[in-house]
Chains A and B, each alone.
Chain A
């Protein structure tokens, strides 16, 4: 990084503003981000001539920036909770690091159990529409998932480049349509920056940090003694194919020869497969990784082809003789840049000690996986300092997911309020998705109540947690206590037969088994019945169930198909999940079908029907996707 250049820029304005690319006059929005004065549109057929006026103003409740897994989770949650939502994504596809452009695995935060909620819905849906595990089809699975959502407008190829402020609130996001030369002014009540680098948040003046905190600042024993500017680096990956016969490889001119002797002294750097790339082909930066991105991209390509040249042409890897590159990333996946400051700055000690937060809304569980600051450019250090220390699923507080100084701005993903060391754990995509579901749901609540995240945290955090739990998010050690759930008030709850667990578990507020207690009911066989009885009639219009998807079993898509077998995955709808069910209400002694669940592929099964007054509800669990027994974790009833 040219440190002097950075400081020269920084002297002419705020730090955030100095980093705004593309336009210098973004703040003076009336003139537009592009000067059209000399643009003369001429159409030959009608001889029409004019100056294009491509501007659009959009009003919405919630604007989500960044269409990675965190952004998708935030946008869908906000929309489902009633907010008129816009999702802006600066790439042609959704998925961010997980998209076909970068192909980072949608890892779960803990090997022991997956996230539920939005990210799980997507992973299951992927196996329905994309059983061939094509990354390009995956992009479109995400596209379908987002675009079918009511209340949600998706804007691809659109980048938010600056914020217009009203005091300490963002009023408008100025966005640029890359493919349609259109300037958008998007007015919103709540903004959620899930873009990773957080350009909009930075231009709004939201406080942030970069680099590594010192060990003493938060008592993080994995942190360096002295604070420095290093961030974890970027990577590119590959996918190969077996050609069935030897294929030559000629390295491009820019390839950097791989110093394998030095590299292999580190025990992390190894060539153990030739299918999906090497995460240690990584390049970071010690000051401004954003400014250096294009250099890093070039370097990554150069290093990558150097490694592949070694594999193909050194003679050390005959297993690669028939292997050819089928895809190599052109856009590096990113681990770290800005970390925006919230009311809580989550650190290594919080995660390692499994701190309990009253405002917990999301969770993680990955180890402190801190990478060598220099990546492949510093072969004297291990590729990763893979610190143990996360023993259990840890809570992520809402206070770490919104800006401490910009009132209506939240974050999800790798740019939340964490120390560098905490980020080495929270950056996992599954974890980021749980944050997105939390901030999206919270933003919708803020809009309804006419408040901002800080006030929501202070006055309504339990309501937010209850909504998240109802929507199948999981918050460790936080059972659901929803008082409006009539199932909890039932005078009797019975399963037709039980092979494991107890029907009463379905209203105990915990929607997955824990190490010390099971929370499910499993019937002996299919066509099982679950019945709830109330002494006095109740009015019900919604019955919601949570089924079995085996959160201990992995469900992600891989670049290397061998992993499906090795990890015992099932690349289909989980066989244990309920496929077909009916909901009946007893009205004047007769059972009347009020709702039907067909071809269900989600853990959370919601039914909605015209309100009935009844003393009993019976749920018939007719069919699964292959498993012999019907199994549930929760039943809820609402008026």
Chain B
């Protein structure tokens, strides 16, 4: 399923020019497909309600979802703006747009009646694959009003605005087509696909998917594990081991997953993350802990305080000391760890100094504390 998908995604990436060259070829004929009714409100629609559409699921040899497609119109409204033609849009099994196809003898047309050139087809594919395209925020009115050939309200008077998209952001003369198809490719149909695939997967398959080399698939696996409320020891170890090399997006997704799981597992994971070399991981773990829903056990705080001296940034020290203060936790061990910070750089040392202000100190600790004050009072 997903292993094969990797090959398909890769191959589509390479074959886009060929595919576009073949756009008048025979449409894909599904041999093992399932039909789903999904609801979507396309922002180009004048009506403010959801409409039901048919989403086709194509299964792989293993019977699992492999691709999805939907047949739509190239332009959703304003029939006089340009010719409306049917377009088939494809996604992979986690809802990522992959390609579009046109039926035989069908070509896309621009507002001025000219047909798309090869470069326009390529650009359209690139636009649809960009989930942060300017079409994400541009309104249908702006598209319509910016069409000088047929547009009506090209003026500051009416509230219509100009649309100056860069030549790489829109196919010139076909902004409405780009807008329409972009919202199909990147709308909530993607969520429907993720839900269908997630429902089709068992936890073992998701666990395997978490080893996928593409981040999008790993994030999908985590999302679906959480949705299934699945927290096994085996997967915990797999997850923790992976966080040491993960980027911030994945670290946060991992923490989100763990925050929803068993409390004991969560605190254990925080301790393990804080013990790691990865500073970003430590900061994310402490930030998560600072907002955690339940009281943090004193033992966890004591264990965490042992890392205070090893922290490489003021931010980590500040975060952990603030959590301890917030929890109103007090222990000899924590105080001893804080005392050690008084010899660090002034920001860290001063933070520890203020932390220690209301703590019971041993005579030797007090001596260190006073020494710090004498030496640094101009910084306090």
| Chain A interface residues (CB < 8 Å from chain B) | 104-105, 107-108, 110-112, 235, 237, 267-270, 272-273, 276-277, 279-280, 333, 365-367, 369, 371, 384, 386, 388, 390-391, 427-429, 491-492, 494, 496-499, 524-525, 531, 533, 535-537, 552-554, 556, 558-560, 563, 565-568, 586, 588-589, 615
Contacts and interface: CB of A to CB of B under 8 A. Distances in A.
A477 B204 CA distance: 52
Interface residues of B, number: 45
Nearest to A560: B159
B126 interface: no
Contacts of B319: 496
Contact of B164 (A110, A267, A268, A588): A110
Interface string B288-316: 10110000000000000000000000110
A589 B358 CA distance: 10
B166 interface: yes
Contact of A111 (B150, B153, B154, B162): B162
A586 B151 CA distance: 59
B141 interface: yes
Contacts of B218: none
B347 A533 contact: yes
B350 A104 contact: no
A371 B378 CA distance: 67
Contacts of A268: 148, 151-152, 154
B347 A491 contact: yes
B350 A384 contact: no
Contacts of B139: 554, 566-568
Given A492-B347, A524-B252, A589-B357, A369 B155 contact: yes
Contacts of A371: 155
Contacts of B43: 568
Contact of B379 (A384, A531, A537, A566): A537
B142 A567 contact: yes
30 contacts: A105-B157, A105-B159, A107-B156, A111-B138, A111-B142, A267-B151, A279-B153, A279-B155, A280-B155, A365-B164, A367-B162, A369-B154, A369-B155, A371-B155, A384-B155, A386-B148, A390-B164, A494-B315, A494-B318, A496-B287, A535-B346, A536-B379, A560-B159, A566-B139, A568-B137, A568-B139, A589-B353, A589-B357, A615-B350, A615-B379
Contact of A535 (B138, B152, B318, B347): B347
B83 interface: no
Nearest to B248: A498
Contacts of B152: 268-270, 272-273
B44 to A, nearest CB: 9
A366 B137 contact: no
Contacts of B7: none
Contact of A237 (B137, B140, B157, B164): B157
A270 to B, nearest CB: 4
B179 to A, nearest CB: 12
B350 A111 contact: no
Interface in B105-149: 134, 137-142, 146, 148-149
Nearest to B315: A494
Contacts of A388: 164
Nearest to A428: B156
A-B pairs, top 3 by smallest CB distance, nearest first, are A589-B354, A105-B159, A567-B139
Contacts of B354: 586, 589
A565 B48 contact: yes
B380 A615 contact: yes
A186 to B, nearest CB: 31
B265 interface: no
B158 interface: yes
Given A268-B148, A273-B152, 4 more contacts: A105-B159, A267-B151, A366-B156, A588-B380
B33 interface: no
Contacts of B163: 111
B281 to A, nearest CB: 14
A563 to B, nearest CB: 6
Contacts of B137: 552-553, 568
Contacts of B353: 589
B161 interface: yes
